Every structure is written in C-alpha cells, then in structure tokens.
C-alpha cells in the first residue's frame, strides 16, 4: 500500500452505463483500484447528457456502489469524460517571443504559450475543452518534443484544440455538481481511453484508437509520438441494438441480449442453419431468428462505423499503411465476435483489442480489465499526469486506504518454487499478489530446512 500518492477518481458518464472508479498508483507505478461502482445510464443519448435528473440519479447509484465496495473511501473531486457529436477539433499555431533570453526555456513560458491558445477564435456557442501541443519549434529548429531547457528567442508550437457545445458541457457539470461532486477536469473520452490501452511504443509506431461505446465511437490518431487527430462518430453499440430491434422485430432488451450472446461482426462466420428462439409476447407464438440474419445486420452497421474511421484517417493522410501500430479497438462494443477480422478487412490495417491491463496492478477482479472500463481508468491516469506535472492543486495529506478484498481476484493462483535438486514444489499464492512474497520466503526457508535434514 502506497500512501504517498493521491487517490484519483474517474467518472465515465456513458450512454449505456455510468462508472466510478477510484485508484491510486502503487510503488511500481501501476494502478490499484480502491473502489468501483457502476449503474445503468438513462439520461444520456449519443454521449450527451439530455436528462439531468436521470443522470444525477444514475451517478448517485454508481457512487453508492463505489462506497459499498470500499466504505473507507471519500469521493469529492472527479475527472469526467466528455464525448458526443458536438465535439470538434481544429489545428492552430502559436508563438511567443521571450523577454528573458539569458536563461533557458522554462515550464512557466510553455504554460503561458498554451494558456494563450485558449483565446483562439471559435464559433459562438462553443467552448474550448482542451489545448494539446503537438510539436514545438525554437527559433529555426523544428519538431522538438519538449523545449524546456533549450535556449532561444522565439518558442512556438502547433496545437490540437478540442471544442464542445457550451450547453452540453454545462449539462455535464451540473449533473456532477448536483450529485455532490466537484469536476476536477473534463477530459475528451478518446484521449482517456488511449491513455489506458496504449504504450509509448504504440504512440511512436502510429496507432488509431477506436473506442466503440454505447452512444458514440471515439477516435484518437497518434503518429510519431504526436496526437494528430480526434473525432467523435455518432454511431455505436446502441445503433446496432436498434437495428436488430427494427430488423428482426424484437424488444430492445432481447436485441441487446442477442447481440452480446450470439452476435458476430462477420456474417460469413455465422452458421447458416443456427436459430435463436425468442418467446412470443403475451400468448403469441415463439419467434425463430436466424443467427446469419443477426450477423448481417451487425456487419452492415459495424462496416459503416469503420468507414467513418477510414474517412477520418484519410483526412489526416494516415490511411495507407502509415500506421505501423494499426488500429486498437476498445470500449464495450469491441467485444463483438470477429470484429478484428472485419476491421482489418475494411481498413486494411492490423488490429487488436486494447485492454487497460497495461497500467493495472496485478490481482484485480477480471471485470476491471475489460475494454468497457478503458475510459474510466484512463481518466485516473490523466489525473496522475496532472499530479506528476503539478498542473492542478492536490491535497498534501493522503488518506490510508487499502484495496478491498471484493476487488481482488478470487482465483487461488499457484506459484512454483524449484528445489535445489531440480524438483518443483508448488505453493499456494493468496488472492492476487498481496501475500506472495511472504509465502515465497517461507517456502525457501522450508527448502533449506529439508536440505539440512538430508545432510544429517
């Protein structure tokens, strides 16, 4: 347990679910989950908060579940994800001429350069959510990743500015405040998801992160270590469910269940002679639904979403084999069967599922390592990034809270220790990693004791 670090809480307000996760980095820099709660979301459509009352109710339910998982927690400030098709992005250029050229470039000057970009002209009714520097220049030197410590007269950078609709942002803030919480920062959801599923080498190789949620598909494109493009596509898992509901004439809950249990993103992979039987409504005869038809509907909508991804990659000139890291799929929708094959076929790029395990400490329940929670875990990582770079005020005294047992894996893992004579003894390892070293030490003591017994 590491009480030298703050506890940071991510709040993911999604179209289908609301998740609250509290985490703290351990001494190895991995996230330990100290609290976790989720609830069904009713007030959100296509990533936008429409019904504030319903959203408050759902946030409170998720918070209650989080407190139930760990009663020692106190949640006040949260990092909140934002998406929705009102999100837009633009590229700008900014420069400052330095007054103090005797000294090297400092963090304060870079902060000033970034702060100036918040004055960029944007259409009325919009608001700047984030300003992300891409590459810097110092005098005549181009493509500098970090200019701090350089000497020069003029410092400039290309910026990726993310904007959103003022009303949509206000609705999120009001929902969070009325739930008794404070918004520490609003973070674009594709950037949060990227932080959770991507490693440094992915950024350099060039990847497109495609986060398929319930209401929106979020896209973030990285190339040569720089964020090149972000977009929010207004189609996702709920659209597929609605297509199944309409196309096969079933209830929405049945459509969702069929999608998750029997759905495939490739109709060629679906069995032609397999059928799902759905009970009839109020005395009506049962319905037989072809698994092949179900796959046809899913493939049609999924291909449309992936065509949007290809369109955005073309816009930034990164569609033809330029992204060596390919496409990383994450979000709840990425769990559809055969989606990797369809993505590779439509985009022509390699593809894999992005799981947030990269940054998670070992021994957590499997539920947390699902792509569904990538955004929420990414929000915690964003909070840590702020903390480590002194971007925001954090408390100086950190509360001692440990990982509750209900968030550790239940599986008894086995740990092998090789004896001096080459044979292996297997010792039990307690849930997760927590008591591993203690057991390991006693096993070693036992081995040596046995060795001594043989000798005498």
Rounded Cα gap, residues 336 and 329, in angstroms: 11
Predicted local confidence at residue 302, as pLDDT: 96
Rounded Cα gap, residues 278 and 190, in angstroms: 36
Rounded Cα gap, residues 93 and 133, in angstroms: 9
Instruction: Work out the angle at residue 422's Cα, subtended by the Cα atoms of residues 416 and 424, and round it to the nearest 5 degrees.
Output: 25
Predicted local confidence at residue 417, as pLDDT: 44
Predicted local confidence at residue 438, as pLDDT: 42
Pairing of strands 182-188, 77-82: parallel
User: Would you place residue 408 in the very low, low, confident or very high pLDDT band (cuts 50, 70, 90)?
Assistant: confident
Predicted local confidence at residue 322, as pLDDT: 81
Tens-digit pLDDT profile for residues 15-63: 999 999 999 998 888 899 999 999 999 899 988 999 999 999 999 999 9
User: Would you place residue 340 in the very low, low, confident or very high pLDDT band (cuts 50, 70, 90)?
Assistant: very high
92 has a pLDDT exceeding 80: yes
Instruction: Work out the angle at residue 432's Cα, subtended by the Cα atoms of residues 431 and 433, and round it to the nearest 5 degrees.
Output: 120
Q: Decide: helix, strand or coil at residue 368.
A: helix
Rounded Cα gap, residues 66 and 38, in angstroms: 8
Tokens representing 233? 């596509």
> What is the percent of the chain where pLDDT is above 90?
65
Predicted local confidence at residue 358, as pLDDT: 80
Chain Cα centroid distance, residue 79? 12
Tens-digit pLDDT profile for residues 151-197: 999 999 999 999 999 999 999 999 999 999 999 999 999 999 999 99
User: Would you place residue 320 in the very low, low, confident or very high pLDDT band (cuts 50, 70, 90)?
Assistant: low
User: Would you place residue 396 in the very low, low, confident or very high pLDDT band (cuts 50, 70, 90)?
Assistant: low
Stated as kind and residue range, the H or E segment containing 344 is helix 339-347
The answer for residues whose C-beta is within 8 angstroms of residue 189's C-beta and 6 or more apart is: 12, 47, 81, 82, 83, 211, 213, 216, 218, 232, 375
Predicted local confidence at residue 280, as pLDDT: 79
C-alpha atoms less than 13 angstroms from C-alpha of 317 in its C-beta half-sphere: 0
Question: In terms of pLDDT, which residue wins out, 214 or 421?
Answer: 214
Question: In terms of pLDDT, which residue wins out, 280 or 399?
Answer: 280
The count of other CB atoms within 10 Å of the CB of residue 40 is: 11
C-alpha atoms less than 13 angstroms from C-alpha of 79 in its C-beta half-sphere: 27
The dihedral over CA atoms of 281, 283, 284, 287, expressed in degrees to the nearest 10, equals: 70
393 has a pLDDT exceeding 80: no
Predicted local confidence at residue 38, as pLDDT: 95
Q: Decide: helix, strand or coil at residue 242.
A: helix
- The whole-model pTM stands at 0.84
Asked if 265 and 226 touch (Cβ cutoff 8 Å), the reply is: no
Predicted local confidence at residue 414, as pLDDT: 40
428 has a pLDDT exceeding 80: no
Least confident of 41-55, 254-268, 408-422: 408-422
1 has a pLDDT exceeding 90: no
User: Would you place residue 136 in the very low, low, confident or very high pLDDT band (cuts 50, 70, 90)?
Assistant: very high
Predicted local confidence at residue 397, as pLDDT: 60
Q: Which domains does the chain have, with CATH numbers?
A: 87-165 (3.30.1490.110), 199-354 (3.30.420.40)
Predicted local confidence at residue 2, as pLDDT: 58
Stated as kind and residue range, the H or E segment containing 94 is strand 88-97
User: Would you place residue 3 in the very low, low, confident or very high pLDDT band (cuts 50, 70, 90)?
Assistant: low
User: Would you place residue 328 in the very low, low, confident or very high pLDDT band (cuts 50, 70, 90)?
Assistant: very high
């Amino acid at each position: 347990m590491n009480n030298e670090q703050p506890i940071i809480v991510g709040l993911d307000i999604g179209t289908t679910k609301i998740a609250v996760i509290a985490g703290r980095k351990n001494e190895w820099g991995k996230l330990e989950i100290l609290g976790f709660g989720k609830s069904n979301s009713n007030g959100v459509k296509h990533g936008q908060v429409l019904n504030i009352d319903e959203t408050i109710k759902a946030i409170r339910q998720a918070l209650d579940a989080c407190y139930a998982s760990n009663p020692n927690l106190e949640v006040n400030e949260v990092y909140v994800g934002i998406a929705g098709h009102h999100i837009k992005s633009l590229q700008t250029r900014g420069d400052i001429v330095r007054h103090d050229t005797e000294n090297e470039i400092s963090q304060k000057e870079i902060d000033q350069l970034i702060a100036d970009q918040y004055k960029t002209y944007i259409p009325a009714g919009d608001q700047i959510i984030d300003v992300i520097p891409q590459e810097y220049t110092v005098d005549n030197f181009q493509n500098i990743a970090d200019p701090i410590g350089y000497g020069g007269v003029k410092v400039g950078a290309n910026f990726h500015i993310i904007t959103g609709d003022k009303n949509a942002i206000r609705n999120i803030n009001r929902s969070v405040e009325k739930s008794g919480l404070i918004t520490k920062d609003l973070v674009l959801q594709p950037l949060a998801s990227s932080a959770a599923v991507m490693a440094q080498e992915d950024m350099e190789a060039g990847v497109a992160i495609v986060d398929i949620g319930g209401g929106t598909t979020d896209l973030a494109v990285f190339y040569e270590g720089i964020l090149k493009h972000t977009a929010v596509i207004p189609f996702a898992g709920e659209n597929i469910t609605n297509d199944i509901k309409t196309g096969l004439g079933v209830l929405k809950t049945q459509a969702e269940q069929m999608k998750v249990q029997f759905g495939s993103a490739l109709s060629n992979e679906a069995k032609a002679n397999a059928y799902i039987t759905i009970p009839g409504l109020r005395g009506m005869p049962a319905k037989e639904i072809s698994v092949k038809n179900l796959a046809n509907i899913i493939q049609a909508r999924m291909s449309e979403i992936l065509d949007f991804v290809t369109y955005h990659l073309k816009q930034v000139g990164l569609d033809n084999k330029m992204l060596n890291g390919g496409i990383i799929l994450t979000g709840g929708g990425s769990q559809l069967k055969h989606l990797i094959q369809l993505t590779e076929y439509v985009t022509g790029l390699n593809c894999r599922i992005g799981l947030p395990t990269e940054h998670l400490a070992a021994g957590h329940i499997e539920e947390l390592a699902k792509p569904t929670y990538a955004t929420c875990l990414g929000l915690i990582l964003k909070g840590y990034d702020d903390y480590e770079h002194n971007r925001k005020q954090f408390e100086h005294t950190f509360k001692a809270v440990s990982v509750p047992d209900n968030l550790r894996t239940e599986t008894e893992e086995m740990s092998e220790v090789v004896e001096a004579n080459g044979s292996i003894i297997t010792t039990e390892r307690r849930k997760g990693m927590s008591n591993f070293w203690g057991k390991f030490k006693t096993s070693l003591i036992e081995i040596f004791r046995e060795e001594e017994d043989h000798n005498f």
